[in-house]
């Protein structure tokens, strides 16, 4: 009986996923002392070297993909990030680098990272969740390209639906049928962070981020890739 209750306590929930993503996002925007600068400083370093924001984003993305496939970087970086969910340090490192890459892409494209809508879209990009359908259901008229003004009009109820889809996507990513036992995540994580898999996944996320924030295509998700 006790073991059964203990096991249930270890199941990861939508709330756990939200806390994990919020922690990652906060650190992505504000940086980590002695490790990574705030997002505006990070982005401006690339803007200084490139002729326009698009080129700066491409250069930044290339470097982040390389970081996610460098085991030494991730090993040394892992202990710096403290997550509210018990996930292996290397998984937290990969998530941080990937989310920071997405957030920087959005920043370079001129989006307000303090906006709830943009924050949700960054999460959706990381998870591979298409937001186009939810946005249309909310009554927001969008064409092939969604404008920044249209994004800011997305109501809170729609954001809640998108966040639910994001949470479930991460739960199923780490386990099966929407249930994850945190004590069993290490073997899954071991496969998840292998160099070749990280390269492929981060490259897909990078392509998705550019499409979303530079091309305004927010319907892109794992099903379209």
Distance, in Å, from the CA atom of 173 to the CA atom of 194, rounded to the nearest integer, reads 15
**Structure token pair of residue 110:** 């001129």
Task: State which residues of the chain have pLDDT below 50.
Answer: 1-9, 72, 76, 176-194, 223-225
In this structure, what are the phi and psi dihedrals at residue 172, rounded to the nearest 5 degrees? Answer: -70, -25
In tens, the pLDDT along 38-82 reads 999 999 999 999 989 999 999 999 999 988 776 545 554 555 566
- pTM across the whole model: 0.80
Number of domains the chain is built from: 1
User: Using CA of residue 201, residue 203, residue 208, residue 213, what is the dihedral sign?
Assistant: positive
**What letter does residue 112 receive in the DSSP assignment?**
-
- CA angle centred on 214, ends 48 and 193, rounded to 5°: 85
**Structure token pair of residue 82:** 């403290």
Q: Which domain range does residue 59 map to?
A: 2-224
| Residue 17: predicted pLDDT | 87
State the Rg of the chain over Cα: 17
Rounded to the nearest angstrom, the gap between the alpha carbon of residue 88 and the centroid of all alpha carbons in its chain is: 17
């Amino acid at each position: 009986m006790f073991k059964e209750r203990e096991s249930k306590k270890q199941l990861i929930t939508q709330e756990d996923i939200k806390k994990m993503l919020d922690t990652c996002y906060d650190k992505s925007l504000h940086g980590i002392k002695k490790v990574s600068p705030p997002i505006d400083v990070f982005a401006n370093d690339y803007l200084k070297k490139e002729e326009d924001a698009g080129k700066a984003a491409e250069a930044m993305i290339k470097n982040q993909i390389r970081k996610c496939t460098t085991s030494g970087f991730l090993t040394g970086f892992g202990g710096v990030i403290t997550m509210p969910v018990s996930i292996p340090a290397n998984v937290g490192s990969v998530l941080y680098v990937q989310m920071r890459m997405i957030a920087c892409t959005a920043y370079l494209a001129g989006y307000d990272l303090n906006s709830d809508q943009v924050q949700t879209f960054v999460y959706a990009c990381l998870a591979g969740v298409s937001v186009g359908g939810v946005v249309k259901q909310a009554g927001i008229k969008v064409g092939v390209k969604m404008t920044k003004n249209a994004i800011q009009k997305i109501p809170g109820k729609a954001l809640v639906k998108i966040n639910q889809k994001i949470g479930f996507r991460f739960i199923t990513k780490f386990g099966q049928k929407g249930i994850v036992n945190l004590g069993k995540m290490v073997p899954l994580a071991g496969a998840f962070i292998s160099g070749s898999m990280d390269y492929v996944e981060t490259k897909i996320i990078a392509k998705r981020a550019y499409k979303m924030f530079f091309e305004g295509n927010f319907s892109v998700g794992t099903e379209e890739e």
